[in-house]
Structure 1
Amino acid sequence: MSATTLATVPPLPRRHARVPTLVAVAMAWIVAMLAVALLAETIRPYGITALDLRARLTPPVGFGGTARHLLGTDELGRDVLSRLIVSIRISLLIAFGATVIAATVGTTLGFLAAHFRGWVEQLVLMLIDFQASMPFLILALSVLAFFGNSLPLFVALMGLYGWERHARIARGLAIAANAQGYAAAVRQLGASPLRIYLRHVLPNIASTLIVSATLSFPEVVLLESGLSFLGLGVQPPMTSLGNMVGYGREYLTRAPWILLAPSAAIVLTTLSVSLLGDWLRDRLDPTLT
């Protein structure tokens, strides 16, 4: 091929060279939600239990309300904006904690199945099939009815949701990594199994596990919102997004702002995390073009 021909060949486009506009907006929303969650106690204008019965069901600014309550008030005169800020903090805390628990449990069991094989692998696969076949809502109802409800228990219970997905992914990737040369070489050098999996296998499969966690995060947010909507999640006086939606449904026709504010936060947050997860999958998966 001549130099002239080479000069006319256009360069190959860089795959995903820039962040799409929609993904950038999703990132900005996630950062904003994290900032609200971290600074909730500082930026909320009122306490979440502060009552003002004279200002019951005050509409938001622009719909007949005043700047004193930007998003209006609920049936007890509590400031909707303050409760929304704290609800975002609680819901994100639950979703983040549950996702970390599920990813940790699933990855650990997946590594155990890949390392020991035999009856250990069969036992883990049986647990995975049992978890996948068990309706999680029934399990949650049983645990909460028997042990009562508290925030640590609720986070731990939510952490049991979706761990089987991480276990399957970790097992398959760990088996593939063990078949490659670098794991066998480190093993021959005398490294312990714990060091092999934590220092060598895990960093090589971390990108896939992170994508899996970002895709399961919005599912946990929706599940927490659904359980709180049914009265099985976060209990008063604490509040969450699903809790606010549950209480606001009774005033949907008279005061829709009570319901719409947390509903919009749930939809936009889950959509943003899903968009980010899909983009990360496309970026980090070399098999996708």
Structure 2
Amino acid sequence: MKAGRLLLWFSAGWLALMLVAALGAGYLAPYAYDALDLRQRLAPPAGLGGGMLHPLGTDDLGRDMLSRLLVSIRISLTIAFASTAIAMVIGTTAGFLAAHFRGWIEQALLVLIDLQAAIPFMIFALAVLAFFGNDLLLFVVLMGFHGWEKIARIARGLALSAGGQGYVAAAGDLGAGPVRIYLRHVLPNMAGTLIVSATLNFPEIMLIESGLSFLGLGVQPPLASLGNMVGYGRDYLEVAPWIPLLPALVIVTTALAVGLLGDLLRDRLDAPLA
């Protein structure tokens, strides 16, 4: 119990810090994220030989690492949040449709779900980005297609289970239509499970976005994300290791914190009532 509470406080504290960094990036960043200062290029962080002018050091163009890190956190979290929301909407809608419409509509949706699950998402994303380009809006929508099939399976199963309970039949007898039943009655009763699914899908999307940006297929310069900061800094790992390691540490810690929070929420919801 004590270890679980410590993990919960760690996860909540780190995610709160990331939200503050993302929302306040414009106010907390000491410099513009793309401001150049070649006189300060490759300056080490404070404590490693650098000064407080650039607390986290600079890159090879003299850009302040703290400013770039704050902006990168904002962009990466925005992509992850938006993509997770898209996946939740697509998956929940598909699950409800499969539960409500039986016959060929249900079978077609189940085949589509199985097809999405069978194709490695990274290969699918690489093909789409190679064909359509690197538009940021397209990239966010593309990330939204990751994991929707798992959410659809969960939503379908919970909707089928709810259909056999009395409150759904009672709402139908009172004249409520299918949309009202699913949105006002079924969805609130399964919201907890869907939230847990979202917390498990969020770090996956964040890691995939980082991987694609690292390969140069995600967020494009002059914008900065955690993934392309790591990709940009890989050539300076020996001479300036803070350039790739700082954003990599943020990626790993954020994904770990969200994953731990999702596991703790799942354990809490699955715990038997006393």
- TMscore range, shorter length: over 0.9
Alignment pair present for 1:181 and 2:166 = yes
Quote how far apart the aligned CAs of 1:287 are.
Answer: 5.2
Hey, what does 1:256 align to over in structure 2? 241
Mapped partners of 2:109, 2:173: distance in 1: 27
Alignment pair present for 1:229 and 2:214 = yes
Gap change, CA 1:28 and 1:217, over 3 Å in 2? same
Q: Is the 8 A contact 1:218 1:269 kept in 2?
A: yes
Quote how far apart the aligned CAs of 1:286 are.
Answer: 4.3
Hey, what does 2:39 align to over in structure 1? 54
Quote how far apart the aligned CAs of 1:285 are.
Answer: 2.1
Mapped partners of 1:231, 1:46: distance in 2: 25
Determine which of 190, 194, 197 is the counterpart of 2:175.
190
Hey, what does 2:184 align to over in structure 1? 199
Determine which of 75, 85, 92 is the counterpart of 1:107.
92
Alignment pair present for 1:166 and 2:133 = no
Q: Is the 8 A contact 1:51 1:76 kept in 2?
A: yes
Quote how far apart the aligned CAs of 1:215 are.
Answer: 0.7
Determine which of 247, 258, 267 is the counterpart of 2:252.
267
Q: Calculate the TM-score normalised by the size of structure 2.
A: 0.97
Alignment pair present for 1:238 and 2:209 = no
Mapped partners of 1:275, 1:153: distance in 2: 30
Structure 2 stretches lacking a partner, 5+ long = none
Hey, what does 2:110 align to over in structure 1? 125
Matched letter for residue 233 of structure 2: G
Q: Is the 8 A contact 1:74 1:258 kept in 2?
A: yes
Matched letter for residue 37 of structure 2: D
Residue by residue, what CA displacement relative to the aligned partner does 1:241-273 show, whole Å, maximum 9, x if unpaired?
000000111000100000111011011101110
Matched letter for residue 27 of structure 2: T
Gap change, CA 1:258 and 1:114, over 3 Å in 2? same
Residue by residue, what CA displacement relative to the aligned partner does 1:57-111 show, whole Å, maximum 9, x if unpaired?
0000001101000000001111111000000000000000000000100000000
Determine which of 27, 32, 57 is the counterpart of 2:12.
27
Hey, what does 1:13 align to over in structure 2? none
Mapped partners of 2:70, 2:246: distance in 1: 10
Mapped partners of 1:18, 1:140: distance in 2: 38
Mapped partners of 1:135, 1:206: distance in 2: 28
Quote how far apart the aligned CAs of 1:18 are.
Answer: 11
Mapped partners of 1:18, 1:234: distance in 2: 37
Q: Calculate the TM-score normalised by the size of structure 1.
A: 0.92
Mapped partners of 1:278, 1:251: distance in 2: 36
Hey, what does 1:65 align to over in structure 2? 50
Q: Say what the alpha-carbon RMSD is for the aligned residues.
A: 1.5
Mapped partners of 1:17, 1:193: distance in 2: 45
Mapped partners of 1:94, 1:253: distance in 2: 30
Hey, what does 1:7 align to over in structure 2? none
Mapped partners of 1:121, 1:227: distance in 2: 33
Matched letter for residue 201 of structure 1: V
Q: Is the 8 A contact 1:208 1:285 kept in 2?
A: no
Residue by residue, what CA displacement relative to the aligned partner does 1:35-54 show, whole Å, maximum 9, x if unpaired?
11011111101111111111
Structure 1 stretches lacking a partner, 5+ long = 1-15
Equivalences, count: 274
Q: Is the 8 A contact 1:282 1:288 kept in 2?
A: no
Hey, what does 1:10 align to over in structure 2? none
Larger Rg: 1
Hey, what does 2:59 align to over in structure 1? 74
